[in-house]
Structure 1
Amino acid sequence: MARPIWTGTLSFGLLNIPVSLMAGERRTDISLRMLDSRDQTPIRYERVNSSTGEEVAWKDIVKAFEYDKGSYVVLEPEDIRSAAPESHDAIEVESFIDASQIDPRYFEKPYVLVPAKKAEKGYVLLREALSATGRIGVARVVIRTRESLCAVIPHGQALLLLMMRFPQELVDIDEYRIPEGKPEDYRITAKEQKISEQLIEAMSGDWDPDAYHDEFRQRLHDVIAKRVKDHKVVEHAEEEPAVPDHAATNVVDFMSLLQQSIKRKQRTPAAEQTGATKPSKKKPAAKKKPTKTAAKKPGSATSKKPPASTAKKTATKKAAPSKSPPSAGKGTAGGDAAKSAAKRRKVA
């Protein structure tokens, strides 16, 4: 099972639909590796210092921008994070536009929007509304750290997300030498024009995507199959990843959210500014004072003094004399020896 590229919400107005972004295209290019012809060992790509020729570890690599030939400014990770947008988990639709007004050059890469569990109602609602109005939603989405322009369009029973290019990414056609003017300026006769139109009509037909194949890939695949025919091929089974269970439900009051969204869009700029600048009458919450019982509680982590009973026991233990071995002459054997010596002196 394919893994989602991105997980978040599709939002328009006050409605949020939990969705997963799944790949809408499949790369069919055949990947070739470079080997050492002497022992068929794969060639590695190494990160090498261009001056010393020594390999550089990942920890010693930084990112920089070349603002002039051979001159760089190093960017810290914090610099890149500060430029990245904050919202990473929402496809925020900014406006709904007639699809015929958008230049096809803006569309780039397709994805499939898959609703999360229990989020089907909002998904179907948006899909049917777009189909009925003939419009598409223009939005922004952040995948990894890159913010992209995108379009949400209905396609059959699904919603597609088409990645779009920003205007700055398109080349102005006027930069190229394009023939302008009328056909007569290029000596095109009416007969040539008519025959060309007849040829187009003769070659016209309905769109059948199954009639088109990547013939180069197929031929190359056949060549590879012949090469590996006499070799053993090991196939590894792929494990299916667990699909996250979103907590969305169908209990959302869609009618109320839609009406509130419409009211927001109908507000005048003056009303919005007044509502934004109006000071709040709420007083700041007072700080809670710590209770005295918590400070006096003997076993509490906040009490600084030990309980009285514990202090007395500790003082008693400190005052008690430590036991030491009896000194010479004070024990039983020492006393008997002294008495015997005194008796001998009296007899003498």
Structure 2
Amino acid sequence: MAVAHKGAISFGLVHIPVSLYRTTQDTSIAFHQLCKDTHERIKYKKYCAHCGKEVHSEDIVKGYEYEKDKYVVMSKEELEEIKTEKDKTIHILQFVKLEEVDAIYYEKNYYAFPDKHAEKAYELLRKAMFDKGVVAISKTVIGTKETLLALCPDKQGILVKTLFYEEEIVEMPKDIPHPKTVKAELDMAKQLIQSMTKPFDPSLYHDEYQEKLRKAILSKVEGKEVVEASSKKETISSPMDLMEALTKSLATMNKPAKRKAVRH
């Protein structure tokens, strides 16, 4: 797995060199755009609007438009030269309780691995944060942006979560109404929640639609017809049926599973 970012965690006067690795991968099926008539791949060409010639990746540079149609060009080397070791360092700014950071601020996750000679300092920071029940709010430059981070300890290591800045968070477009609830309905809803509450096991969940999509594609490849999904629509209870829906849901959850007959 490729390193997404290299730097060092700065904890007071303690310097902990680390490498960040992505925690996720895209497993979704990718489709190509094809010509309707020939089924050939659709390709896009990049060209210069001034001279009309096609340009390739090695011929493209980054430019900032400081006035209309006027640009200042910045090469990759110049962008890297601007970064100092201080910029690449993950500076711990403060420690907070994990629940104090609203979930809306989280963006991406990375695994942080220490360099070999920094393993003891890394473990010291991880264990101290884990025992105190805190995360470290930090900053570092990733790419061309100073990124806000949360260093989150667990039993294995330190998970680095990138955070949005407050100015990047968009306010809710309108207020969500809070109509008055009936106690009997609320109690029933709580019972339903309780009946469905159990330890989280991520291995139980997977993308079922992707499985159906893969089967449909395989059927097409083998020359079979794609089987259409059932057109039956789920019914949504109206506010008038809320209590009835809760009662039936709870009864379904509490119904004992049918035992299979044992053949002798």
TM-score higher than 0.5 here? yes
The equivalent residue for 1:114 is 113
**Unmatched 5+ stretches in structure 2:** 224-264
Query: Which stretch of the first structure deviates more once superposed, 204-213 or 29-38?
Result: 29-38
Q: Is the 8 A contact 1:46 1:55 kept in 2?
A: no
Q: Which residues in structure 2 correspond to 1:108-187 (within 5 Å)?
A: 108-173=107-172, 175-180=173-178, 183-184=179-180
TM-score normalized by the length of structure 2: 0.71
Q: Deviations over 1:210-229 (max 9, x none)?
A: 11111122222223344456
2:74 to 77, 81, 97: 77
How far apart in 1 are the matches of 2:156 and 2:5?
Answer: 21
Question: Equivalents in 2 of 1:65, 1:195: separation in Å?
Answer: 59
Q: Report the CA distance between 1:111 and its aligned residue.
A: 0.5
Cα 1:38/1:61, change in 2 over 3 Å: farther
Shift of 1:144: 2.0
1:201–1:72 distance in 2 versus 1, CA, 3 Å: farther
- What SS is found at the alignment partner of 1:74? strand
Match of 2:204 among 195, 205, 211: 211
Partner of 1:63: 63
Q: How far off is 1:57 after superposition? A: 2.1
Q: Report the Cα offset of residue 38 of structure 1.
A: 5.1
1:270 match: none
Amino acid at match of 1:202: S
Report the Cα distance in structure 1 between the residues aligned to 2:87 and 2:149, rounded to whole angstroms.
14
Q: Any stretches of 5+ residues in structure 1 without a counterpart?
A: 231-348
Structure 1 residues 46 and 98 mapped into 2: Cα distance closer, same or farther (>3 Å)? Answer: same
CA distance, structure 1, for counterparts of residue 211 and residue 109 of structure 2: 24
**Counterparts of 2:70 and 2:209 in 1: how far apart (Å)?**
44
2:195 maps to 202
| Distance in 1 (alpha carbons) for counterparts of 2:34 and 2:123 | 51
Distance 2:153 2:65 in 1: 40
Q: Secondary structure at the match of 1:220?
A: helix
Distance verdict in 2 for CA 1:62–1:6, change over 3 Å: closer
SS of residue matched to 1:118: helix
**Per-residue displacement from partner, 1:28-50 (whole Å, max 9, x unpaired)?**
22221123355543221112467
User: Structure 2 vs 1, CA of residues 77 and 17 (structure 1 numbering), >3 Å: closer, same or farther?
Assistant: same
**Contact 2:47–2:55 (CA<8 Å) still a contact in 1?**
no
- Indicate if the aligned counterparts of 1:34 and 1:43 stay in contact, CA closer than 8 A: yes
- Whole-angstrom CA distance in 2 between matches of 1:148 and 1:100: 20
Whole-Å Cα distance in 2 between the matches of residues 36 and 228 of structure 1? 19
1:266-316 deviations in Å (ceiling 9; x for gaps): xxxxxxxxxxxxxxxxxxxxxxxxxxxxxxxxxxxxxxxxxxxxxxxxxxx
Q: Distance in 2 between matches of 1:125 and 1:20?
A: 17
The aligned residue for residue 105 of structure 1 is 104
Q: Which residue of 2 aligns with 1:42?
A: 41
Deviation, structure 1 residue 124 = 0.7
Structure whose CA Rg is larger: 1
The number of residues matched between the two structures is 218
Is the 1:9–1:19 Cα contact (8 Å) retained in structure 2?
A: yes
CA distance in 2, matches of 1:26, 1:47: 28
CA shift in 2, pair 1:72/1:205, >3 Å: farther
- Alignment-mate amino acid for residue 130 of structure 1: M
The equivalent of 1:279 in structure 2 is none
Kindly state the Cα deviation for residue 81 of structure 1 after the two structures are TM-superposed: 4.3
- Partner residue, 1:255: none
Residue 224 in structure 1 maps to residue 229 in structure 2: no
Establish whether residue 190 from structure 1 lines up as the match of residue 183 from structure 2.
Answer: yes
In the alignment, what sits opposite 1:344? none
Q: How high is the TM-score relative to the length of structure 1?
A: 0.55
Distance 1:8 1:228, change over 3 A: farther
Say which SS state the counterpart of residue 10 (structure 2) adopts.
Answer: strand
CA distance in 1, matches of 2:53, 2:79: 28
CA change 1:141–1:61 in 2 (3 A) is closer
Q: For the residues of structure 2 that align with 1:89 and 1:189, how far apart are their CA atoms? A: 55
